[in-house]
């Protein structure tokens, strides 16, 4: 079954349904030389919480780029393989304890005014010419979804928000590498250069923060290093880079994918505007319906028997999160967007020990963003019928999302600003 062609990248769900119909476990040669694919919600959830399925797999991607890449990407593996997201217990447990301190419910709630201020500022810039223009058109990805999480994470890390263009570019290169089933050497080399630039950025920042610590996440990581929770400069740099990369990638795609889904389903968009109390439930449904992370990977630590097949130690297993989120055994009419759905958890943030550490922050950003958009831009419509999907199979998102504001929207924008003032 063909995967990763243009049709799949634009709409992977027919392929997921066909894979599921063919059986619970399928072998595919299209992932890093071969992998087992899982499509059912129950199986994906079980694998994600099973410690026999290891996340320590960064080297496999680099090696799959070809023999020339193995030596050339030692720098990439040296840093990123030490990230929380590629660590098994007990190292994962230690790092998770350190990182959790920056994402407690109280810490996330404290970030809400900062997120709201950034959202308002971005929308102010978009609306600046609305008073005189017959209609306002803008690219939602460029003007809102991309900068918002980069600016939020810059504030939490205590880094210069003016560098957000670099943050986004570096994150894009890393995502292109991680999100490609069989990365080419040029893709791998770009990822290495960008991770190197990101690491160099933090290497310059760390001495300053050691001399003048604050309450930001980088200062918290430095305190953890001093207390033995983080071991060595490479492990410290890996966590800094992880926060910058992961904190941006998922949130921007949730915002873009979610906005597209709402505007493609105007009845649901109107329901949300009429019943803003549905917002929390709506964000969960948007994550299920069009997951920003479509799959992840695990390597087997031991032979495992699954659905009558013996999976061998060292083999790659791909839990297809996007397929699990549309499993009809779990969700009624799964291809329909239903903002009132209440049928159990989606898997877009993972499951088990490796559930996304920044999930609560992402929910906060999405809820504040959508609530403010409903207040200030209630008459948004799509300016182009066909969405422009990026060519990344793992990180599903849009390259652009042109939107149009009806002429009466500026008045609503003023009212929304006054209501919060």
CATH label of the domain that carries residue 319: 1.10.630.10
Length of the chain: 421
Among 31-35, 66-70, 95-99, 408-412, which is the least confidently predicted range? 408-412
Mean pLDDT of 337-362: 95
* 230-239 CB contacts, 8 Å cutoff, 24+ apart: 230/95, 230/98, 234/78, 234/79, 234/82, 235/82, 235/95, 236/206, 237/79, 237/199, 237/202, 237/203, 238/79, 238/80, 238/81, 238/82, 238/83, 238/84, 239/83, 239/84, 239/95, 239/98, 239/99
Q: pLDDT at position 133, please?
A: 64
| Domain count along the chain | 1
- Asked whether residue 78 is assigned to any structural domain, the reply reads yes
Q: pLDDT at position 408, please?
A: 53
Residue 416 has pLDDT above 70, yes or no: no
Summarize pLDDT for 164-210 with one digit per residue, the tens.
888 888 988 888 888 777 778 888 888 889 988 999 999 999 999 99
Let me know: does 351 contact 325? Beta carbons within 8 Å: no
- Asked whether residue 147 is assigned to any structural domain, the reply reads yes
Q: Check residues 408 and 216 and name the one with the higher pLDDT.
A: 216
Q: What letters, b where the CB count within 10 A reaches 16 and e where it falls short, cover 115-128?
A: bbebbbebbeebbe
Residue 398 has pLDDT above 50, yes or no: yes
332: tokens are: 């009624």
> Cα–Cα distance between 32 and 62 in angstroms, integer?
9
Average pLDDT, the chain: 89
Q: Name the pLDDT band for 131 (thresholds 50, 70, 90).
A: low
Q: Chain centroid to CA 336: how far?
A: 22
Percentages (nearest 5) of helix, strand, coil residues in the chain: 60, 10, 30
- Asked whether residue 75 is assigned to any structural domain, the reply reads yes
293 forms beta bridges with: 395
- Asked whether residue 355 is assigned to any structural domain, the reply reads yes
Q: Name the pLDDT band for 419 (thresholds 50, 70, 90).
A: very low
- Asked whether residue 347 is assigned to any structural domain, the reply reads yes
Q: Check residues 224 and 56 and name the one with the higher pLDDT.
A: 224
312: tokens are: 């061998």
74: tokens are: 């030692």
- Asked whether residue 300 is assigned to any structural domain, the reply reads yes
> Cα–Cα distance between 290 and 298 in angstroms, integer?
22
> Cα–Cα distance between 337 and 340 in angstroms, integer?
9
Q: pLDDT at position 376, please?
A: 94
Among 43-52, 124-133, 190-199, which is the least confidently predicted range? 124-133
Domain residues for the domain of 292 are 6-420
- Asked whether residue 1 is assigned to any structural domain, the reply reads no
163: tokens are: 């560098």
Q: pLDDT at position 129, please?
A: 65
Q: pLDDT at position 135, please?
A: 72
Mean pLDDT of 280-304: 96
Residue among 71, 45, 30, 327 at smallest CA distance from 192: 71
On whether the pTM is more than 0.75, the answer is yes
């Amino acid at each position: 079954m063909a995967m990763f062609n243009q049709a799949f990248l634009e709409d992977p769900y027919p392929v997921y349904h066909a894979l599921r119909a063919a059986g619970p476990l399928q072998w595919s040669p299209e992932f890093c030389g071969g992998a087992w694919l899982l499509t059912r919600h129950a199986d994906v959830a079980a694998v994600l919480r099973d410690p026999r399925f290891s996340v320590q797999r960064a080297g496999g991607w680099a090696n799959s780029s070809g023999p020339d890449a193995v030596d050339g990407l030692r720098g990439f593996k040296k840093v990123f393989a030490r990230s929380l997201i590629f660590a098994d217990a007990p190292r994962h447990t230690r790092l998770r304890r350190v990182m959790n301190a920056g994402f407690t419910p109280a810490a996330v709630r404290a970030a809400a005014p900062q997120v709201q201020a950034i959202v308002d500022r971005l929308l102010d810039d978009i609306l600046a010419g609305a008073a005189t223009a017959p209609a306002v058109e803008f690219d939602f990805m460029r003007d809102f979804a991309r900068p918002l999480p980069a600016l939020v994470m810059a504030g939490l890390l205590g880094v210069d928000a003016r560098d957000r263009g670099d943050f986004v570019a570096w994150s894009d290169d890393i995502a292109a590498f991680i999100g490609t089933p069989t990365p080419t050497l040029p893709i791998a080399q770009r990822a290495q250069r960008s991770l190197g630039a990101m690491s160099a950025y933090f290497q310059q920042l760390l001495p300053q923060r050691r001399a003048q610590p604050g309450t930001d996440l980088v200062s918290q990581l430095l305190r953890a290093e001093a207390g033995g929770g983080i071991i060595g400069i490479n492990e410290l740099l890996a966590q800094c880079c992880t926060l910058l990369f992961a904190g941006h990638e998922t949130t921007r795609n949730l915002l873009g994918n979610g906005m597209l889904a709402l505007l493609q389903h105007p009845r649901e968009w109107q329901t949300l505007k009429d019943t803003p109390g549905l917002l929390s439930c709506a964000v969960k449904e948007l994550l299920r319906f069009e997951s920003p992370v479509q799959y992840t990977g695990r390597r087997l630590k031991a032979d495992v028997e699954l659905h009558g097949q013996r999976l061998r130690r060292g083999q790659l297993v791909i839990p297809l999160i996007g397929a699990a989120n549309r499993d009809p055994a779990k969700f009624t009419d799964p291809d329909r967007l239903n903002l009132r759905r209440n049928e159990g958890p989606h898997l877009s943030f993972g499951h088990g020990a490796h559930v996304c550490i920044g999930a609560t922050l992402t929910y906060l950003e999405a809820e504040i963003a959508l609530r403010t958009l409903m207040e200030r831009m209630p008459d948004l419509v799509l300016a182009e019928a066909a969405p422009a999907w990026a060519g990344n199979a793992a990180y599903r998102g849009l390259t652009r999302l042109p939107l149009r504001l009806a002429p009466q929207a500026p008045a609503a924008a003023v009212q929304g600003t006054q209501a919060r003032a």
